[in-house]
Amino acid sequence: MTANNVQHGLTQENILAVKAYLMGLQDQICAALEMFEPLSRFKEDAWDRPNGGGGRTRVIENGEVFEKGGVNFSHVMGDKLPPSATADRPELAGGRFEAMGVSLVMHPKNPYVPTSHANVRLFVVHKEGMESVWWFGGGFDLTPYYGFDEDCTQWHQTALEACEPFGEDYYDRFKKWCDEYFHLKHRGEPRGIGGLFFDDFSELGFADSFAFMQSVGDAYIKAYHPIVAKRLATPYGERERDFQLNRRGRYVEFNLVFDRGTHFGLQSGAGRTESILMSLPPEVKWGYDYKPAEGTEEARLLTYFLTDRNWLNRGL
């Protein structure tokens, strides 16, 4: 799949419709997650860019359930695409860009509640001498510290249901892409149990590609909310907490070394450093050559859950 789709279906009205959806999605997700917190609420930091655009960074910290989390909306413009955006599209080098999206990461306090990530976005490139190019991207993925088969199956079933109205193969394609993308190459291990990841998506035309992105965006809270509700009261102690903090180190490594969104935001200068790095957990450990003891639930996370499993027993 490449970003060859051009102006067809792209109007200013359509861009504004995407923006309105994304801002509404941010509101809905924050409200749904705040339901778990008796006192803590997301704090909003609205910001503007001198070169155009801005965003709403919303962060929650030190909650009863969420130790730290962020649900961000941004709509930014730039005069020149950074290297991270043109590595696979050299023909777009030098183009002006417009990017908008919602990106979130939630780091729960209880090690039995998994970390979650989601992102949905629209990217438009304008370059003299060629028609404007646009594409959607996004997805969601889950990073447990203690795995439960039913949680993983429910997460992937919700992902499947988000994709099914648009074609039978989308879940299989984007599940595989997610497994391949959220992979720590230097560790030789997945970051989590996956979900969906797609980029450069324009093959359905603007209206249906937008509808697909909406379906994925709406599915995140449907997938995550029941898992949080089920696991938030699970008792835990120092052993579980220590394992969680060491595994969070893997999350930091991926976001700083591999994540395209982090690289784009920092390279382009279009983002905002505090908003970009809000995805990092508040506490983390890097124990030297840290390995869980064989036969433990901690070891089972690595040998059973973090193996790019086919959770729905589909013929991928």
Which residues are part of the catalytic machinery? 117
| CB-count burial class (<10 Å; 0-12, 13-18, 19+) for 127 | middle
Task: Please state whether 162 falls in left (phi above 0), alpha (psi between -120 and 50) or beta.
Answer: alpha
Task: Say how far apart CA 5 and CA 215 lie, in whole Å.
Answer: 21
- Please choose, from the candidates 235, 237, 223, the residue with its C-alpha nearest in 3D space to the C-alpha of residue 193: 223
Q: Which residues are annotated as a binding site for a divalent metal cation?
A: 107, 117, 156, 186
Angle of helix 170-181 versus helix 149-163 axis, rounded to 10: 130
DSSP 111-128: TTSPEEEEEEEEEEEEET
Tokens in use for 119?
């992102």
- Is 145:114 a contact under the CB 8 Å cutoff? yes
In the sheet with 130-143, reading across from the earlier edge strand, the strands are: 43-48, 53-61, 66-78, 96-108, 115-127, 130-143, 194-201
